[in-house]
Amino acid sequence: MDAAIETPAVVVDLDVTRCNIDRFQHYADAHGLKVRPHIKTHKLPAVAALQLAAGAVGITCQKVSEAEAMAAAEPAITDILITYNILGEAKLARLRALAERVRLSVVADSTVVVEGLSRTFAGAGVPLRVLVECDTGARRCGVATPQDAARLASRIAASPGLSFHGLMTYPPVGGTAAVQAFMSEARGLIEAAGLPVAVISSGGTPDMMAAHQAPIVTEYRPGTYVYNDRSLVSRGVCGWDDCALTVLATVVSVPAPGRAIIDAGSKVLTSDLLGLTGYGHVLGRPDIVIDQLSEEHGRLVSEGPIDLTVGERVRIVPNHACVVTNMVDSLHIVSTDAADVIWPVVARGKVI
Amino acid sequence: MDAAIETPAVVVDLDVTRCNIDRFQHYADAHGLKVRPHIKTHKLPAVAALQLAAGAVGITCQKVSEAEAMAAAEPAITDILITYNILGEAKLARLRALAERVRLSVVADSTVVVEGLSRTFAGAGVPLRVLVECDTGARRCGVATPQDAARLASRIAASPGLSFHGLMTYPPVGGTAAVQAFMSEARGLIEAAGLPVAVISSGGTPDMMAAHQAPIVTEYRPGTYVYNDRSLVSRGVCGWDDCALTVLATVVSVPAPGRAIIDAGSKVLTSDLLGLTGYGHVLGRPDIVIDQLSEEHGRLVSEGPIDLTVGERVRIVPNHACVVTNMVDSLHIVSTDAADVIWPVVARGKVI
């Protein structure tokens, strides 16, 4: 297909995608762990459908507008967790409308958020499920201690329109033991107060194969695993053959023996480094470093001869797959059992 | 307007935009320099129209699809320079179609690019204007020496369907003297070969007020100047009041005394650092560093109390304005002489 694709292009191999989905689902099934994939990586109802068909119990979204886009798909996606503090009258109204259409859960890490949710859902036919977001070391959102988690759980349970549903965390890489410790203490406190903890949700692709080492977790939210990327290869989580998403680019200039310029810059590859050197891996060319991006140019350098010609195409595994799918309106989908197709990135740019 | 805007949002102050446009146009007029703004910053025909009304001779685009989007606007934009090596039959066909509708110029830095352009435009009613892209120190695209520039100029002039139109460079910051030296030598060689050099084009906002120090340059292509950003403030090119584009965000969590989380992450602010520390400047809060972004979260830290509350809004000047306008489908436009409006980012995502 390559020759027919105008570059730069984001290409997804659906066979590799399916393997990635199945690999983690089998692992999770073996350990009695439910899978609730984060759609931020693919932003595609059709890939969510593959994940659900493989056994996922529902999906995770980060923003209300993402959830709306996924709920509007055919066939409908009916079980959505939004792992974000929802604030503001407009978003809350959208959230209430969304809850009419899907089995919805959200998170909260403060009383301000809980109050807004309660005000919105008081009088709703079905109370809104709310999980307490816990900080198990990532120092992003989340209550800081199991005691704080227990206090907020009680507050949720006592709030009109809401039901306390469990605990959620996005741990730092290597944080599996911290998740087990925090969640065990928090669950103990909450159950001691007479509240059931239906769900304990953790996430993150880098540590997903260690999820069983935090057996208190009932649901896992992997995102990047569906495509994989250079950051995960560098962590030893997968190999290049497991990377389902690549960027196809054309060499537009070879101005010096050790330098070539491609037509993919930060508007496709993004500036995400994730601690790596360079902005992606040129498949088959480990000697090349993508050492500089401007918006429409990527600079490839090598200590040896660059050995590329103007007009030649290269395939790149980006540092971070999730952000790349946000940069393009459509993807080129390739697979062995169907003709190549172009899919719009349905939930692209959904930041609201 | 702020309270009515759902966050995160990209807001453009049209009054500040107009001032920025006028400031450079006046400077250029005083120095007999033509202005051909790069639309990659705003991606908006309406802002290009302001630039043209102020005196710009045309616009600059990076990709064919950007130029198509700008040419399709009402009123039509009729003079476009594409500062990119165009390769591949599909893009060349689009280029030829575009040349039927606008006064088009492109660049080339190799014979492969020239051959493709010539093959495409041989037999065209009007030859395609081609400038030689020159590397004056940025080590991106461009011929390496004035001698190479002269050779490629002759090749263009001898190619069916093409006319040699001049020289173009995107210099590194601080490269004004290098531009003058390279272009003087190249022009001398080309004129000695009997070819006129109609246009010598340079660009870059950081050095735009030094453009007169390279008097050989006939046209200048500023991009970021239209909005300005944190990178330009840090270089002393402008002040915060000159920054027309800001990101409006809501504080969604204040989990610790020195930390707050906002609802704008890399999907709005992008990971572009441009050599800076942190991912943007919170207006009115020089003590705050945006030290970490994930896709939908921005982390604000301060050595003192963060002194923000959940639900409060902050305005951020991003590191790099151009990439931010590529992240959103629409902008909120504010001005003193008209009602606030929402504009679609017409040329967003145009990477082809």
Query: In whole angstroms, what is the distance from residue B216 CA to residue B187 CA?
Result: 9
Among left, alpha and beta (phi > 0; psi -120 to 50; other), residue B36 is: beta
pLDDT at A3: 76
In a domain, A340, yes or no: no
Closest chain A residue to the Cα of B253, Cα to Cα: A141
Which tokens sit at A226?
């569906």
Using DSSP bridges, classify how beta strands B128-134 and B245-256 pair: parallel, antiparallel or unpaired: unpaired
In a domain, B18, yes or no: no
CATH number at residue B276: 2.40.37.20
Same domain, B246 and B320: yes
Query: How near does any CA of chain A get to the CA of B30, in Å?
Result: 31
Query: In whole angstroms, what is the distance from residue A226 CA to residue A322 CA?
Result: 10
pLDDT at B265: 98
Last residue of a domain, one of B169, B201, B226: B226
Contact assignment for B87 to A296 by CB distance below 8 Å:
no
Residue A258 has pLDDT above 60, yes or no: yes
Residue A1 has pLDDT above 70, yes or no: no
Candidates A142, A271, A273; nearest CB to B255: A142
Distances B93 to A309, B86, B87 between C-alpha atoms, Å? 22, 10, 10
Same domain, A222 and A236: no
Residues of chain B found within 8 Å of residue A309, distances taken between Cβ atoms: 112
The angle subtended at Cα B336 by Cα B333 and Cα B338, nearest 5°, is 65
Q: What is the pLDDT of residues B16-65, one digit of tens each?
A: 999 999 999 999 999 999 999 999 999 999 999 999 999 999 999 999 99
Domain that holds residue B285: 2-9+231-344
In a domain, A300, yes or no: yes
The angle subtended at Cα A69 by Cα A274 and Cα A52, nearest 5°, is 75
Please compute the mean of the pLDDT values over residues A138-162 and round it to a whole number: 98
Contact assignment for B255 to A109 by CB distance below 8 Å:
yes
CB count, 10 Å around CB of B274?
Answer: 15
Q: What is the pLDDT of residues B80-138, one digit of tens each?
A: 999 999 999 999 999 999 999 999 999 999 999 999 999 999 999 999 999 999 999 99
Contact assignment for B295 to A40 by CB distance below 8 Å:
yes
Last residue of a domain, one of A226, A257, A282: A226
Same domain, A173 and A28: yes
Contact assignment for A109 to B326 by CB distance below 8 Å:
no
Same domain, B313 and B195: no
pLDDT at A224: 98
CATH number at residue A51: 3.20.20.10
Please compute the mean of the pLDDT values over residues A239-268 and round it to a whole number: 98
Same domain, A190 and A279: no
pLDDT band at residue B186, thresholds of 50, 70 and 90?
very high
Query: How near does any CA of chain A get to the CA of B302, in Å?
Result: 14
Same domain, A73 and A177: yes
Please compute the mean of the pLDDT values over residues A161-180 and round it to a whole number: 98
Contact assignment for B87 to A255 by CB distance below 8 Å:
no
Interface test with A, best of B11, B63, B117, B310 (most A CBs within 10 A): B310
Same domain, A154 and A252: no
Query: In whole angstroms, what is the distance from residue A69 CA to residue A159 CA?
Result: 29
When the pLDDT of each residue in chain B is averaged and rounded to a whole number, the result is: 97
Candidates A112, A255, A323; nearest CB to B109: A255
Residue appearing with tokens 């609730």: A36
When the pLDDT of each residue in chain A is averaged and rounded to a whole number, the result is: 97
In a domain, A144, yes or no: yes
Residue B4 has pLDDT above 90, yes or no: no
HEC sequence for chain B: CHHHCCCCEEEEEHHHHHHHHHHHHHHHHHCCCEECCECCCCCCHHHHHHHHHHCCCCEEECCHHHHHHHHCCCCCCCEEEECCCCCCHHHHHHHHHHHCCCEEEEEECCHHHHHHHHHHHCCCCCCEEEEEEECCCCCCCCECCHHHHHHHHHHHHCCCCEEEEEEEECCCCCCHHHHHHHHHHHHHHHHHCCCCCCEEEEECCCCHHHHHHCCCCCEEECCHHHCCCHHHHHCCCCCHHHCCEEEEEEEEEEEECCEEEECCCCCCCCCCCCCCCCCEEECCCCCCEEEEECCCCEEEECCCCCCCCCCCEEEEEECCHHHHCCCCCEEEEEECCEEEEEEECCCCCCCC
pLDDT at B75: 84
Same domain, A164 and A98: yes
pLDDT band at residue A226, thresholds of 50, 70 and 90?
very high
pLDDT at B210: 97
Contact assignment for B352 to A139 by CB distance below 8 Å:
no
In a domain, B352, yes or no: no
Domain total of chain B = 2
pLDDT at A4: 83
Closest chain B residue to the Cα of A330, Cα to Cα: B349
Residue B3 has pLDDT above 60, yes or no: yes
Residues of chain B found within 8 Å of residue A254, distances taken between Cβ atoms: 110
Contact assignment for A268 to B351 by CB distance below 8 Å:
yes
Contact assignment for A309 to B112 by CB distance below 8 Å:
yes
Please answer whether residues A143 and A152 qualify as being in contact, where contact means their C-beta atoms are separated by less than 8 angstroms.
yes
Same domain, A162 and A66: yes
In a domain, B19, yes or no: no
Please compute the mean of the pLDDT values over residues B64-79 and round it to a whole number: 94
Contact assignment for A311 to B252 by CB distance below 8 Å:
no
Same domain, A287 and A220: no
In a domain, A328, yes or no: no
Percentage of chain B beyond pLDDT 90 is: 97
In a domain, A40, yes or no: yes
Report the candidate in A273, A247, A308, A221 with the shortest Cα–Cα distance to residue A41: A221
Q: What is the pLDDT of residues A63-118, one digit of tens each?
A: 999 999 999 988 889 999 999 999 999 999 999 999 999 999 999 999 999 999 99
Helices and strands, number each (H, E), in chain A: 9, 17
Residues of chain B found within 8 Å of residue A301, distances taken between Cβ atoms: none
Residues of chain B found within 8 Å of residue A268, distances taken between Cβ atoms: 351
The angle subtended at Cα B106 by Cα A296 and Cα B202, nearest 5°, is 75
Last residue of a domain, one of B207, B226, B245: B226
pLDDT at A230: 98
Classify the C-alpha dihedral B33-B38-B41-B47 as positive or negative: positive
pLDDT at B1: 53
Candidates B62, B139, B295; nearest CB to A296: B62
Q: What is the pLDDT of residues A174-215, one digit of tens each?
A: 999 999 999 999 999 999 999 999 999 999 999 999 999 999
Same domain, A183 and A246: no
Same domain, B241 and B202: no
pLDDT band at residue A225, thresholds of 50, 70 and 90?
very high
Report the candidate in A208, A131, A350 with the shortest Cα–Cα distance to residue B330: A350
